[in-house]
Structure 1
Amino acid sequence: MLRMTIDRDAPLMTLAWTDHVTGRRGYLVVDRLVRGVASGGLRMRPGCSADEVAGLARGMTMKEALHYDPDSRYVPLGGAKGGIDCDPRAPEAYDVLVRYLRAMKPYIETVWTTGEDLGLTQDLVDRAAAEAGLVSPVQAVYPLLDDEAAARRRLAGAFAVEVDGIGLDVLVGGCGVAESVLTALDRAGVPYPGTRVAVQGFGTMGGATARFLARAGLAVVAVADVKGTIANPDGLDVEALLAARDTYGTVDRAALRPADRELPGDAWLSAEAEVLVPAAVSYAVDTVNQERIGARWIAEAANMPVLPEAEELLAARGVTVLPDVVVNSGTNAWWWWTLFGDIAADADEAFAYTRRAMRALVGRMLDRAEAEGTSPRAAAHGLAADRLPVIAERFGWYR
């Protein structure tokens, strides 16, 4: 008798794409569908692999589940992710992006809602999507909206909001990361003044996180970009550095003050700081370089920056890793809170809602970790595992 088994841990769908012009490879992984739709950004970086994209897609499934609130208008979607193995600075990168989106058009139209991620800005994704013949990179969710026209106007209005010269869409994710850090500090009774932070990556997530932490009273003592690490033990002028960065998050060194020092790119790891915020590439902290870390907390603003084996070694040394599935989930949630109508296209409302949601989520995660004697990551995964069957019971399994 033929017996068929279903692997619940396997992604629902994995696609590999080869660009016929350059030979570049791209991937789409749909981990899970809820109401027939999955959510997850598109990244572009050299070396991006199918395994990396699959891990990111699984992370998106958990991020969506962690923000499930049966009383809100936003109903979590499934998890998905796209990736292209290409340097976003390469001359051919934009054309590769357009061809990738054109190839993935049937999936973006029906099941996959996407947006910016590592190496790509939302403006660039939107422009390439239009050139590829798409109505919107999030059009798959439109059939789930009560009033599509009003929802689209609300989201467009939110993307038009700027705060001190930076778009709300760029800032809200960093607000969530910063609030995660502040929640951990509050629980430990650590005052904000005198607490030092080192940030790896000064693009969308890293730059916004640095701004919110600096404005909360913490000292950002090191910032790393592709040119190296900028450091000042007395604290960097975050606003000046933000004003001097390009679209890729690289800071113009002409903006540095006399006391600011230029160090090697990996110097952020060993910065004298209580908090490290890896906000750039995946797999940044491994079993070797983790030995250089003296911080008490690592807040994963990037996706999968700390390797599992490294996290075990860090935990043994008393270093707490606040996991990506919680810490950087605010951007994705803000998209849907806005589109579904839980919040308006307003910066104050967006920040307040994000802060409340992140504080509650981080609190639940740390409470569970303490009660079960486990890591924050294991606790977060446990929370997601509790919620996924509830979502499936309400909306059905799409696996």
Structure 2
Amino acid sequence: MTTTPTPYDDAKAQLKRAQEILGFSDDDYELLATPRREITVAVPVKRDDGTKTVLRGYRIQHNWSRGPGKGGVRYSERVDMEEVRALAMLMTWKAALLNLPYGGAKGGIAFNPAEYSKAEIERITRRYVHELFPVIGPDIDIPAPDMGTDAQTMAWFMDTYSQAVGYTQPGIVTGKPVSLGGSLGRAEATSLGVYFTTRAALGHLGIEENDATVAVQGFGKVGRGAARFMDKAGMKVVAISDVFGAIYNADGIDTDALGEHVDETGKVVDFAGAEAMDPEELLLLDVDAVVPAAIEAVITKDNAADVKARVVVEGANGPTTGSGDAILNERGVMVVPDILANSGGVLVSYYEWVQSRDNFFWDLERVQKSQEAAMLAVWDEVVEFSKEHSVNLREAAVSMAVERVLDAHKMRGLFP
């Protein structure tokens, strides 16, 4: 009986491929594959009706050779230890690829926030922070928003931690409201980075922005902003989906009008400026670029052979399984890996962390120009490594990141 590889299995397979490319030892592989710290906590919560329930929370600090842990907190009923392990490892490589002074971490609580009131979610958040208090901090592990969490969640997180230490500590999290020391440009940073890397990939293939067609899966935190940036730049966004359905317009979707429709109705379906389509067909459209910006494991061995786009830009974390990735590469489809494509969020989180520590805040132009310069410089490095070693972009990006982490570890040495 064969089992479906978990996200952590796929993450370790990427690391194993980096080992083959770089030639480091099995001992070093084990060191890099094994999280440095794994925490499981009980999160008891009193519901609004007076009943009590106990949720399960996680925080994994995968590596801190290059600096404190950094990574999001997600609220989803699908959260489990395997998923968090994979995402924490991904964060290690993402931070190293961008040359940020961070290691990788990730956390989450297994529940569906749609089934809880705002007051209940606040109590859950504050209890989670209380349970993690000994192992987080602005120089230890700095959380950020992720699926199911937002700036308000980070405000509660910051306040709870600050109450415990006895003074306001804005550096404990990133992705905070600007009024509490958050950075301008942080909310849209991941989306903007997806746009930057999509533009770079299309340009690499000789496709001009004004001639490009794009399909975006997901109209949430990442997909909505990415679609809007692409639309404003002249790309033709012909298809967009969310959890309720998908829409298509061969002439391009007006993303501003769609945003207003979603704000009013909560879903992309029934938008007057497009027709309904099968959501599963969106990834298979004959367009220049497909942007999976929703959940993981949507391009698999079952549909990768039918992807017609020349470029897949991974706006989500892990949207392509290992087997799906192999098929895309065999067919010559360029895949811009998640650790590069959606790295804008951690990059601007770093800018926010620096601003919080210095109490000196940047204007939006500085944030976005710095983000663009940094991400395009990394794009060039990844492309160059890919050519030099005759590997694909994912193998190049992961190998570059792994090499930096391993070098940092060896320079520090192994504590007796």
Q: Same fold (TM over 0.5)?
A: yes
Deviation at 1:128, TM superposition (A): 5.0
* Number of residue pairs matched by the alignment: 369
From 91, 105, 117, the counterpart of 1:80: 105
For the residues of structure 2 that align with 1:220 and 1:140, how far apart are their CA atoms? 34
For the residues of structure 2 that align with 1:328 and 1:190, how far apart are their CA atoms? 21
Deviation at 1:386, TM superposition (A): 2.5
The farther-off stretch of 301-310 and 283-292 is 283-292
From 13, 20, 23, the counterpart of 2:37: 13
From 46, 59, 62, the counterpart of 1:28: 59
Structure 2 residue runs of 5 or longer lacking an equivalent are 1-26, 45-51
Deviation at 1:262, TM superposition (A): 2.0
1:216 aligns with 2:237: no
For the residues of structure 1 that align with 2:415 and 2:260, how far apart are their CA atoms? 45
Partner of 1:119: 148
Question: 1:136-215 to 2 correspondence within 5 Å?
Answer: 138-139=171-172, 156=180, 159=183, 161=184, 168-215=185-232
Structure 1 residue runs of 5 or longer lacking an equivalent are 69-74, 142-151, 162-167
For the residues of structure 1 that align with 2:415 and 2:365, how far apart are their CA atoms? 36
For the residues of structure 2 that align with 1:97 and 1:153, how far apart are their CA atoms? 16
Letter in 2 for 1:274: D
SS in structure 2 of the partner of residue 81 of structure 1: strand
The farther-off stretch of 382-391 and 292-301 is 382-391
Deviation at 1:40, TM superposition (A): 0.4
SS in structure 1 of the partner of residue 64 of structure 2: coil
Aligned 8 A contact 1:34 1:398 in 2: no
From 128, 141, 145, the counterpart of 1:100: 128
For the residues of structure 2 that align with 1:189 and 1:281, how far apart are their CA atoms? 29
Letter in 1 for 2:336: L
SS in structure 2 of the partner of residue 24 of structure 1: strand
Deviation at 1:185, TM superposition (A): 1.2
Partner of 2:309: 295
For the residues of structure 2 that align with 1:122 and 1:395, how far apart are their CA atoms? 35
Deviations 1:320-358 (A, max 9, x none): 211011111111111212432599521111111111111
| Structure 1 pair 35–358 and aligned structure 2 pair: CA distance change class (3 A) | closer
Aligned 8 A contact 1:290 1:314 in 2: yes
Aligned 8 A contact 2:244 2:269 in 1: no
Question: 1:358-397 to 2 correspondence within 5 Å?
Answer: 358-392=375-409
For the residues of structure 1 that align with 2:285 and 2:366, how far apart are their CA atoms? 35
The farther-off stretch of 176-185 and 117-126 is 117-126
Letter in 2 for 1:79: G
Instruction: Give the alignment's Cα RMSD to 1 decimal.
Output: 3.0
From 257, 262, 275, the counterpart of 1:245: 262
Letter in 2 for 1:43: R
Deviations 1:1-20 (A, max 9, x none): xxxx8840200011223334
Deviations 1:150-204 (A, max 9, x none): xx99994554x4xxxxxx2221221111111111111111111231111111112
Deviation at 1:212, TM superposition (A): 1.4
| Structure 1 pair 158–361 and aligned structure 2 pair: CA distance change class (3 A) | same
Partner of 2:295: 281
For the residues of structure 2 that align with 1:238 and 1:323, how far apart are their CA atoms? 25
1:262 aligns with 2:276: yes
